[in-house]
Structure 1
Amino acid sequence: MVEQTSAPAADAVTSRLKRRYAAERRFQFMGMAAIAVALGFLALLLVSIFAKGASAFVQTQVQLEVTFDAGILGVAPGADRDTLASGDYLGLAKAALWSRFPDVSGRAEKRQLAALLSPSAGDALRDMVLSDPNVIGSTRKVWFPVSDSVDMTNKGYLPRDPAVEGARLNAAQMGWLQSLEDGGVLTKRFNWQFVTTGDSRDPTQAGVWGAVVGSFYSVLVTLLLSFPLGVATAVYLEEFAPKNRWTDLIEVNINNLAAVPSIVFGLLGLAVFLAVFGLPRSAPMVGGLVLTLMTLPTIIIAARASLKAVPPSIREAALGMGSSKLQMVTDHVLPLALPGILTGTILGMARALGESAPLLMIGMVAFIVDVPSGPMDPATVLPVQVYLWADSSERAFVEKTSAAIIVLLLFLAVMNLAAILLRKKFERRW
């Protein structure tokens, strides 16, 4: 009788186990499928950004034989540095291009030929003369950047056939361009100007270095202010503050501040730091103060969670060995909670680096050409620079927008890598 009743029960158990295992396999498949879809979208995004922005790191340049004629420059040999800096170096570059095509004689044709060069073509000549005035009177081969229309055409973003809609070069200009290509003096070289200069209205002169320096100063100010303040607040609330309705109210407000839209902090910075304290607009110092207000709740919440994760036995053992409460926190609890605190700091800094809305409110959307030399100088940041270039109508700014995003991602990766290495260094296991 026992055997007759146990067999159906065993079959029922086996059937339930099979259904359970099948459900588990379906759940695992759905999880893996979700991860695969997410990675696919991420890969698509990164491939799209790199495909559009990689070409901004190279620039079409032309090599010309330049005779440093003092008459064309409008300076005399032996002139002082200020006089040398004011010479007509763009005219000297145009003269070098005209000399390569002696058949071009008309004024209109010369103007069309000179349009192949970038407005910044004379900068390299100015640097050469200022570094060594003795080059005046000599002949040198120099690489010059071409105009954005020539650069976009040579990179394949604009049609080469003048008859096709969207072409920016006429038949004569395409003939001169083809002659330069056949002569081996037109090639793509690394675009040092993009990674060493500030913003410009001309795409061939626009660079990302000013925004990188502005982002660095802003994030540095944010880190120096938010990290010690956030950790100190978390330590006091978790280890020293009495548990009453006032601390409960503070905790609720901190949690609420973490969910406040970032533009609200920008309005606060506009009303307090600029209107009341009179700090300079567009300065990384003000941007850092605004981002500090935004990242403090995130760091405080993460630091409190890390402090709670430390086993109570650590505290009890330290107090039992005669440590004071302050010694217990600084020598035992805080070092064990530091990896988690650094993780929260990484998240806060990453959010601060990618924010643009609060910085727009304090004027960091202004057109800044010069690279800032300190946190009080006018500057912009990488997210705002991306916003400005994305709003430009020139085709050359499309690739620069994607290239600026690449630089922003690299900046974020380097910052996170440094924080992760610090977290690993201070990590302790129990």
Structure 2
Amino acid sequence: MTDKNPADSNLAEQLSTTEKVALSLRKRHRKEKRFQWAGLMAVGLGFLLVVILISDIVLKARPAFHQHWVKLEVEFRQDWLGVTSSDLAELKKANYRSVLRRSLYGMFPDVKGRRDKRSLFKMISTNAEFTIKQYLLDTPTKLGKTAEVWVRFDDDIDSYLKDDYTPGEAGPRVSKQQAQWLQQFLNKEIVDKRWNSEFFTSGDSREPELAGVRGALTGTLLTMLVTLLLSFPLGVAAAIYLEEFAPKNRWTDIIEVNINNLAAVPSIIFGLLGLAVIINIFGLPRSAPLVGGIVLTLMTLPTIIIASRASIKAVPPSIREAALGLGASKMQTAFGHVLPMAMPGILTGTIIGMAQALGETAPLLMIGMVAFIVDVPAGVTDAATVLPVQIYLWADSPERAFLAKTSAAILVLLSFLLIMNSVAAILRKKFEKN
């Protein structure tokens, strides 16, 4: 038996170790590639889901941005109106519903029965008589004459036209007889599809064809303004005090723990607090942007304080030491050097807090901002609602036309959030350059 060469044995061991290292590296690289691919797939899937969601909202919202109108030949007879002259005070009290009915029935002389007449009249929006009224008030010389006036269709007829049903065939909430009358309107070429600008200029309404987001949008702006004016200075001041001036003792530790705990409190608790304290004890008005802003401030403050403290803490200690070494006071150092350098991070925390407040519904429901409010608020103490609550109300409505209104309101809310974030990003870039 021949003995093994020691040199060959060492070489084999050396090659074996090298191969093990190479194999381990190959496994590691494969794991890294799999992790990278998993990350890319996760990002791609998330982006795809966002695109699908936005596309679905846009497609459902499209019908809300246009409406169908019909041209009626309205005869402003004095006996129908119940007036004797063209005096504006008398015209304001005239019977325009009678004029609308008689003019509409005159276009369909074959319609005789009461039930058929009622079904025909339901095809026109309830706002049509006010449209006719405004037309005569603007042009009182038309009294006693016949004029062509454009009025809206009812939301059921409008939805029927937008869904492209077979002409003359019945559809959801549209009878076959109404579909045939509608076909006569179309044959006469007196139906027009127009851009629905009143969706942005009108308040809420029980009738889908009249409902708009101006009231909710104004209420959102006022509520967010109150929230920003209260939460930003209070949050930044609290963060500066805790980081720069407060002594490190048991009391400040308790405060820090409570701030962290408040950030995790369900938002509806803040609504209950607003209802019990701000409204019942202090007597502030319900459904007002002022109360909504105070409630959202309480909810937003912990987020802003935590983010602001982290940003202030990230400022290098050398900045403080240099300022103090040049003779600046602690107050001058904090507000003249530390705060400007921490401002980009503070603005980021403010964006997060305001975005959270913008989408909140539960606390605002508790203080009455779920009420049906038609008028556009003129100040922070007027009754108002906000976009998230308006979306909630429309989504719960049985009328089909409110589905498109809901999606359109979601787009308005997303646009508002995008504008708010863009302004904050511009300000953040400005502070970073300075």
Q: If the TM-score is normalised by the length of the shorter chain, which range does it land in?
A: over 0.9
Within a 5 Å distance, the mapping from 1:378-417 to structure 2 comes to: 378-417=383-422
Q: What per-residue deviation string (whole Å, max 9, x for no partner) do you get for residues 63-119 of structure 1?
A: 2233433433333434244x4333333443334433333443444433222221000
Match of 2:215 in 1: 210
Aligned to 2:425: 420
Deviations 1:16-53 (A, max 9, x none): 22111111100011111111221222222222222212
Residue 159 (structure 1) shift: 7.5
The separation in 2 between residues aligned to 1:377 and 1:159, in whole angstroms, is: 47
Deviations 1:291-350 (A, max 9, x none): 010001011111111111111111111112221111111111111111111111111111
Alpha-carbon distance change, 159 to 212 in structure 1, aligned in 2, over 3 angstroms: farther
Equivalent position to 1:99, from 84, 106, 109: 106
User: Aligned partners of 1:161, 1:67: CA distance in 2, in Å?
Assistant: 28
Give the corresponding residue for 2:197: 192
Find the counterpart in structure 2 of residue 351 from structure 1.
356
Whole-angstrom distance in 2 between the partners of 1:206 and 1:94: 24
Structure 1 range deviating more: 65-74 or 363-372: 65-74
Q: Determine if the alignment matches structure 1 residue 11 to structure 2 residue 19.
A: yes
**Aligned-partner residue type, residue 210 of structure 2:** Q
Q: Distance in 2 between matches of 1:428 and 1:167?
A: 59
Match of 1:87 in 2: 94
Q: Aligned partner of 2:196: which letter? A: N
Aligned to 2:313: 308
**SS of residue paired to 1:301:** helix
Q: Is the 8 A contact 1:153 1:159 kept in 2?
A: no
Q: Secondary structure at the match of 1:347?
A: helix
Question: More displaced, 137-146 or 301-310?
Answer: 137-146
- Cα pair 2:168 2:183 within 8 Å, conserved: no
Change in Cα spacing, 1:76 to 1:240, as seen in structure 2 (3 Å) is farther
Counterpart in the other structure of 2:40: 32
The equivalent residue for 1:124 is 131
For the 8 Å contact 2:267–2:362, the answer to whether it is kept is yes
Q: Which residue of 2 aligns with 1:43?
A: 51
Distance in 1 between the 2:126 and 2:190 partners?
19
Alpha carbons 1:267, 1:361 under 8 Å: kept = yes
**Unpaired segments ≥5 residues, structure 1:** none
Q: Equivalent residue for 2:3? A: none
Greater mean alpha carbon deviation, residues 263-272 or residues 203-212:
203-212
Offset, 1:382: 1.0
Deviations 1:215-257 (CA, angstroms, capped at 9, x unpaired) = 1111111011101100111111111111111111101000000
Q: Which has the larger radius of gyration?
A: 2
Distance in 2 of aligned mates of 1:357 and 1:239: 36
Partners of 1:375 and 1:352 lie apart in 2 by 17
**Equivalent position SS for 2:248:** coil
1:128–1:135 contact (8 Å) kept in structure 2: no
User: How much has 1:139 moved relative to structure 2?
Assistant: 4.3
After TM superposition, give the deviation of residue 279 of structure 1 in Å: 0.9
The residue type equivalent to 1:213 in the other structure is: T
Identity of aligned residues (%): 56
Query: TM-score, normalised to structure 2's length?
Result: 0.92
Please give the alpha-carbon distance, in whole angstroms, between the structure 2 residues aligned to 1:62 and 1:53.
23
- SS of the equivalent of 1:167 reads coil
Moved over 4 A (4+): 1-6, 157-163
Change (3 A) 1:408 1:162: same
Determine the C-alpha separation between the residues in 1 that align with 2:83 and 2:317: 79
Aligned to 2:80: 72
CA contact (8 A) 2:88 2:137 kept: no
- Partners in 2 of 1:394 and 1:234 — Cα distance? 49
Q: Deviations over 1:104-155 (max 9, x none)?
A: 3444433222221000112323333344434434544332110111111111
Q: 1:276 to 1:369 in 2, by over 3 A?
A: same
Contact residue 162 and residue 168 of structure 1 kept, 8 A: no
Q: Pick from 241, 244, 247: which aligns with 2:252?
A: 247
**How far apart, CA to CA, are the structure 2 residues paired with 1:77 and 1:125?**
17
**Residue 160 (structure 1) shift:** 6.1
Question: What secondary structure is seen at the aligned counterpart in 2 of 1:393?
Answer: coil
Residue of structure 1 aligned with 2:68, choices 60, 72, 77: 60
* Aligned partners of 1:161 and 1:167 also within 8 Å: no
Query: Aligned with 1:427: secondary structure?
Result: helix
Could you say which residue in structure 2 is the equivalent of 1:112? 119
Distance (whole Å) between structure 1 residues aligned to residue 219 and residue 159 of structure 2:
29
Matched, 1:148 2:159: no
Q: 1:198 & 1:157 partners in 2: Cα distance?
A: 28
Alignment of 1:223-234 (within 5 A): 223-234=228-239
Corresponding letter in the other structure for 2:408:
A
Aligned equivalents of 1:127, 1:423: Cα separation in 2: 49
> SS of 1:210's equivalent?
helix
* AA partner of residue 111 (structure 2): V
Q: Which 5+ residue runs of structure 2 have no aligned equivalent?
A: 1-6
* Contact kept in structure 1, 2:168 and 2:182, CA below 8 Å: no
Displacement of 1:184: 2.0
The answer to whether the 8 A contact 1:365-1:380 is kept is yes
